[in-house]
Amino acid sequence: MAHTDNSPSPPGAVPIAFGATQTRCFGWYHAPRVGRRATGVVLCRPVGYEGTCAYETYTQLAERLADDGFAVIRFDYHGTGDSIGSDADPDRVAAWQACIDAALDEVQRLAGTPRLALFGVRIGATLATRVASARGGVDSLVLWAPCASGRAFTRELRAAGTLRAHAPRPGDTGGDDLETMGTLYTAQTLQDLQALDGKPGSPLPAPRTLFITRDDLPGAGPLPAAFREAGIETTVVEWPGYAAMMAEPHETDVPTATLDGVIDWLRAGEPADAQPEPRAPGTDVPLQRDAVFAGVREIPLLFGHEHGLFGILAEPERLDEAGGRAETAILMLNVGTNHRVGPNRLYVKMARAWAARGYRSLRFDLAGIGDSRSAAGYASTRLYSKGSTVDVGAAIERLSGLGVQRFILVGLCSGAYVAFQTALADPRVTGLVLINPRRLEWNEGETLQSAMQRSYKSSHYYRRAMFEPATYKRLLKGDIDVRGIAGRLATLTRVRAARAARRLLGQAPGEENVLANMRLLSERGTDILLIVAEEDDGLDYLEYHIGPRGRHMSGQPNFRMLMVAGADHTLSQTESQQHVIEAVREHLDHTGVGVE
């Protein structure tokens, strides 16, 4: 039988699923916490990497609007985040607009608000304008750095991405796909994006609009003038925070001053006599949380101390037919401060692929990341914290209550560190999949540590590059960070020499015990699959400890090291992702996990 989560929901924030079956969306409903305003607000995120960067800003805006009495929905478009679908599905742009439309219906259904507002950043703002024009009945628009047109947006994508040929698909319009910043845009999606226009249509999208300019580019662009010419009350403000919001996720700063201004502007637009629809005492509006598709069921889970941790459990739709595999859970741990979907949505793809084969897969947020709101904020200095092992233990405890007996931890980069440390501390961990780790143990102030945290290629890559003519062309153009690379290689040489000298003198290693601990886990019976991109900067760190290609682990039981050619650190290319997903599937089958 399928499992239904009965965990209580945190006040004012409820995970929901809504929309048509073919465009089912995952989102959060933030109920008003103080009073009830007459306006329901739907937050429309950017797509692709920009949506990942802005995740925390959108979450905090939703929470603060709810604190001010607004009913709010934030959500993932079809084929993004935790919603169903994939990059390669047809009619993506139409599906995104259908999701916004469904979110507007849902916020009115849940809160009874007679008025509606849309907030969007970048292409999310452009999509919001198009939906408001097609639908009518939207009272306020907040557009932050909107794309003037889909054509301009696709030009930016092409400048940053790589075109590649593809096999024909249903609804294909011909042309090449574009893969950029970890997101695939099919030829049809690109064509449909180019047809978007950020100017107001007929009927008008809303009677009042707030434009917020970018603080990293001059001017407001052509849209405010077009809105004014259409007779829309248009306000343009130069508020700070855009560049900080769109920084790398672990460096993002939430623009609190600008969020204050947005809330004030929305509050000022409410008529004094506007009131939400009254609810009868004791009346509860039914919520849909689970999503079922392609033989997989996904269930939101709230767990841990005071249910402060959040994740999504993917499992076979027919759990009772999965056999012993349903007793195995694969837990995916955050990469840096990226929320549970993983970089380039990798964890979503992994979870669904393995759930379709009969395993249970939980992608969840450690405390202070994404929607695990039990810690106040998150700092990059906490990326490598042994304290996170407590959160993994809470997830294991939760799944144990569902009949799971075997636990495999999957982590990329900092997630690999948390997985490794949890396995050392918790014997319930039966398997590890460590992907491109830069650290497996952490000693403050150790020289090698600082070298491994810089984003360079592996020394193997630089040795090969010395024999490629293109390298010297780039060198002459000044496109190569010669000083940084030289410093990194010098650091590696220095720490290797220092270790060799200590050994000759019979001194203690004076370094973290990665090799000994990896052998300990292997001998204990913990299956270890180490996956490393051949050019990844973490390869030098690993080979420093476990030898070239894991030579020092040779002959150890339950250990395997897999090298992946042509992959980057976060596996941003679809081909690399599929290779790794298939490699883990083969590893599970080879080790006999879940086979009766």
Q: What is d(CA 248, CA 184) in angstroms, rounded to the nearest whole number?
A: 20
Q: Tell me, what's the pLDDT at 435?
A: 98
Residue after which a domain boundary falls, among 237, 268, 299? 268
Taken in order 78, 82, 84, 89, the sign of the CA dihedral is: positive
What DSSP letter does each residue of 251-302 carry, written as one string? Answer: G----HHHHHHHHHHHHHTS-TT--PPPPPTT--------EEETTEEEEEEE
- What mean pLDDT comes out for the span 347-358? 95
Stretch among 444-448, 472-476, 566-570, 571-575 having the lowest mean pLDDT: 444-448
Structure tokens at 426: 């918790």
The CA distance from 135 to 6, in Å, is: 36
Considering 471, 491, 511, which residue would you say is the last residue of a domain?
A: 511
Task: Tell me the average pLDDT across 29-54.
Answer: 94
Q: What would the mean pLDDT of 379-408 be, rounded to a whole number?
A: 87
Tokens 């992994």, residue located: 350
CB neighbour list of residue 414: distance below 8 Å, 6 or more residues apart: 334, 335, 336, 383, 384, 438, 439
Give yes or no for residue 62 having a pLDDT over 50.
yes
Cβ atoms 210, 143 nearer than 8 A: yes
C-alpha distances (whole Å) from 530 to each of 419, 527, 571, 593 are 12, 10, 15, 17
Residue 347 pLDDT level (bands cut at 50, 70, 90): very high
> Of the given ranges (80-84, 101-105, 261-265, 459-463), which has the lowest mean pLDDT?
459-463
- Least-confidence region, from 59-63, 199-203, 589-593: 589-593
pLDDT in tens, 417-446: 999 999 999 999 999 999 999 989 876 544
Q: Which pLDDT belongs to residue 163? A: 56
Residue 208 lies in a domain: yes
The span from the CA of 503 to the CA of 230, in Å, is 78
The structure tokens listed for 492 are: 């590696």
CATH of the domain at 384: 3.40.50.1820
pLDDT of residue 7: 41
pLDDT at 454 over 60: no
Tally the domains of the chain: 3
My answer on whether 387 and 454 are in the same domain is no
Q: Which range has the worst mean pLDDT, 12-21, 496-505, 540-549, 550-559?
A: 496-505
* Amino acid occupying residue 111: A
Q: Mean pLDDT across the stretch 69-90?
A: 96
CB-based contacts of 493, cutoff 8 Å, min separation 6? none
The pLDDT value recorded for residue 292 is 87
Q: Could you report how far apart the first and last alpha carbons of the chain are, in Å?
A: 19
Provide the domain limits for residue 385.
Answer: 291-442+514-591
Mean pLDDT value across residues 220-230: 95
**Are both 320 and 458 inside the same structural domain?**
no
Q: What is the pLDDT of residues 461-503, one digit of tens each?
A: 545 555 566 655 565 666 656 666 566 656 666 666 666 665 5
| CA dist 514 → 175, 420, 489, 575 (Å) | 49, 10, 21, 30
Query: Is a pLDDT exceeding 90 seen at residue 596?
Result: no
Confirm whether 116 is domain-assigned: yes
Q: What is the per-residue pLDDT across 160-205, written as a single tens digit (0 to 9) for each?
A: 876 555 555 555 656 789 999 889 999 999 999 999 999 998 899 9
536 beta partners: 457
* Alpha-carbon radius of gyration of the chain: 25
Residue 91 lies in a domain: yes
pLDDT of 4:
43
Record the pTM. 0.87
Residues 355 and 221 in one domain: no
Is 486 among the domain residues? yes
Do residues 497 and 542 both lie within one domain? Answer: no
H and E: helices and strands count for the chain: 19, 20
Q: Are 522 and 559 spatial neighbours (Cβ–Cβ below 8 Å)?
A: yes
Answer yes or no: do 318 and 367 share one domain. yes
Q: Is residue 284 part of a domain?
A: no
> What is the amino acid identity at position 380?
S
| Co-location of 203 and 329 in the same domain | no
Average pLDDT of the residues in 145-151: 96
In angstroms, the CA 578 to CA 340 distance is 19
pLDDT given for residue 508 in this prediction: 56
pLDDT attached to residue 6: 42
pLDDT digits (tens, 9 = 90+) for 233-256: 999 999 999 999 999 887 889 999
The answer on pLDDT for 77 being more than 80 is: yes
When comparing pLDDT for 386 and 331, which is higher?
331
Phi, psi of 548 (to 5 degrees): -55, 125
Mean pLDDT value across residues 344-358 = 95
Instruction: Read off the amino acid at residue 63.
Output: E
Q: Is the pLDDT of residue 382 over 90?
A: no
Q: Are residues 437 and 468 both part of a single domain?
A: no
Same domain, 465 and 378: no
Q: What are phi and psi of 73, to 5 degrees?
A: -125, 125
Would strands 291-293 and 296-303 be described as parallel, antiparallel, or unpaired? antiparallel
562-568, long-range: CB < 8 A, 24+ apart:
562/529, 562/530, 562/531, 562/532, 563/532, 563/533, 563/534, 564/531, 564/532, 564/533, 564/534, 565/533, 565/534, 566/533, 566/534, 567/533, 567/534, 567/535, 567/536, 568/533, 568/535, 568/536
Enter the tokens of residue 296: 């997989």
Is 122 among the domain residues? Answer: yes
552 and 433 within one domain: yes
Q: Would residue 167 count as lying in a domain?
A: no
- Is 190 inside any structural domain? no
Whether 531 and 552 share a structural domain: yes
Q: Which two tokens stand for residue 366?
A: 């450690």
Q: What percent of the chain stands above pLDDT 70?
A: 80
Residues 26 and 39 in one domain: yes
Cα–Cα distance measured from residue 39 to residue 275, given in angstroms and rounded to the nearest whole number: 9
Winning range, highest mean pLDDT, from 50-54, 469-473, 587-591: 50-54
Quick one: pLDDT at residue 450? 45
The confidence band for 294, taking pLDDT boundaries of 50, 70 and 90, is: confident
Residue type at 426 in one-letter notation? D
Note the pLDDT of residue 448: 38
pLDDT surpassing 60 at residue 377: no
Contacts of 548 (CB under 8 A, 6+ apart): none
Q: Specify whether 428 is located in the same domain as 302.
A: yes
Domain boundary among 488, 511, 534: 511
Predicted confidence at residue 446, as pLDDT, reads 47
Q: Rounded to the nearest 5 degrees, what angle is found at the Cα of 384, between the Cα atoms of 380 and 389?
A: 125
Residue among 97, 102, 96 nearest 116 (CA): 102
